[in-house]
Structure 1
Amino acid sequence: MSQHIEFMYDFCSPNAYLAHKALSGLKPRPKSGIVFQPVLLSLVFKLTNNQNPFQAYSENRQKTSYLTHDLHRFARRRGLSFHMSPHFPLNTKFAMRGASFAQGKSWESKYIDAVFDAIWVHGQKIDDLNVLTDVLQEHELPVRKIRDAMTDPEIKQRVKDETKAAVRRGVFGVPTLFWGSEMFFGKNSLGNLELEIKQSI
């Protein structure tokens, strides 16, 4: 039976951005591809008594300095564009509702790339709906439908329900990836994911 990678993400995470970019170079890449699952990181943290590592270690300059260095090193070694957002941390609830609405649509990947790049390449403040709208227009995405989805109570509830379902599977942060029943947390776990895929296909 063919398998796919499940990629659980929130646009607010620089590690999720880098993992998303690095996935394109994954070898072997499963034929059935990647399924993107948006989750609300703030709700994940609330449900798991967890928090943003930059906040958790805010008084430990050595730790926060290393975390920042690791982000830039990961990007540099893979030739990825990356800039720490000047607006970090961001509220991505509207962008994540848009991501939920985008699931399975022909422009889903385009939407994900556009929002991730807006934050982590161009430093845009996408929790400002006017800025986010400009990003959607720039990439010729269906702006009106996406904007409507961002305020749709059903979409809002769906994102929450899918986040809670992810937590029940063991998710405590992002990026989290699944290959079958195996869970891999963080951008630095991609090597182990590759090994797991090689052993199973």
Structure 2
Amino acid sequence: MAPPSSSSSSSSSYDSSSTLHFYTSAPPLHYPAQWRRRLPPPQYYGGTLSEKMLGKALKAVGKPRNEYIVSTKCGRYIEGFDFSAERVTKSIDESLERLQLDYVDILQCHDIEFGSLDQIVNETIPALLKLKESGKIRFIGITGLPLGIFTYVLDRVPPGSVDVILSYCHYSINDTTLEDLLPYLKNKGVGIISASPLAMGLLTERGPPEWHPAPPELKVPSTSLRGPI
């Protein structure tokens, strides 16, 4: 999908201009059979293993850097959350080393509702802007579950500071509340990544994991409707 401030394009070719682009379908990428599995987002997931695996896969593919988009996250680590300027600055250097890259296309602050939103505004985003100026990242993103966190931050940072948000579980057949935020984001010129369209497993045949936050009355009917697998 295209960012709200841009027109959508069906082309799968990558545009390396300063504009952030999303795709209706991912550009084709051929890679060795041993890498043909879904890799979770880096840093927190897999204890940084996914970044190392992805770095090896990209090196094995040998494609020009401008033919693919790499996004990673900062602020959430095995030891907990840390959105300080010092830690997120160190974080991108660690990620680049594991990914074996000179830069990432998108660096996202991971689940900002678990930190101080004022720290995100006054410390984290300014630090990421410096990383952007240095060429280590191309675009800045913020992610989280409560939709209110996005308006709080975007209303308090200079226009253009945040390029994209990642919202999850709010644009699917059981929850479309993300739609209410679209006019606001379009006005701000901020792109959107809608994640977890299957509500973290709630809408799948397998069903949600035990830790899923949905109340039992929602999880039980959805399980019974699926029938035997």
TM over 0.5: no
- Structure ranking higher on relative contact order (CA contacts 8 Å, 6+ apart): 1
Task: State the TM-score, normalizing by the size of structure 1.
Answer: 0.29
Q: Which of the two has greater helix per residue?
A: 1
